[in-house]
Amino acid sequence: MKLKTTRNAAENARALLPKLLEKYFKAGRKAAKGRPSPKKLHGFRLATKQFRYSLELFRPLYGPSIERKLSALSGLQGVLGKLSDYHSVRTLLKGDKALEAELDRSTEKKLKEFREQWAAFDTEGQLGRWKAYLARGK
C-alpha cells in the first residue's frame, strides 16, 4: 500500500483500501477452500494483519462503526495464528506420535473454526457492503 502525499487521508483511504479489500477477499476465499497448506494459511494470516492494520491506520476516518469490522478481522487473525502455532510446534517436535495426533485433532478443529469464521465474514454481498463502507468514510 503506497500513500500519496498529494492526497489527503480520506482520498488515500478511498483510493487504496478498496484495492486492498479486493485482494484480501480473493486470498481469503482461496485459503478457505479445500485443504490449504500451512504456508497458504500463514500467507493469509499475514494478509489479514496487513488489512486490519491498514484499516486501523485510517480508523479516525471511519469512527466507531469500524470497530465491528476490526473485531471480525482480529478473530480471523487469532484463529490463523493458532493454526500457525500448531504447525510450528509440529515441526519442532516431530516424531512424538501422541503429540502429533493431538496436534492433528487441534488443527482440524481450528481449521473448521477458521472456515466458519470466514463463511460468516464473507456472506452474500459482503464484499459490496465493504466497498461501499470504505468509499464513504464517516
Which spans in 1-124 are helix H? 9-31, 38-57, 59-62, 67-92, 97-121
pLDDT above 90 (res 137): no
pLDDT tens digits for range 58-104: 999 998 999 999 999 999 999 999 999 999 998 888 888 999 999 99
Measured at the CA of 96, the angle between CA 94 and CA 99, to 5 degrees, comes to 100
| Separation CA 22–CA 34 (nearest Å) | 21
pLDDT band for 138, please (50, 70, 90 cuts).
Answer: low
What average pLDDT does this structure show over 30-57?
95
The pLDDT score that the predictor gives to residue 5 is 86
| Separation CA 22–CA 111 (nearest Å) | 23
Q: Calculate what percentage of the chain has a pLDDT beyond 70.
A: 98
Radius of gyration over every alpha carbon of the chain, rounded to an integer in angstroms: 17
pTM of the model: 0.89
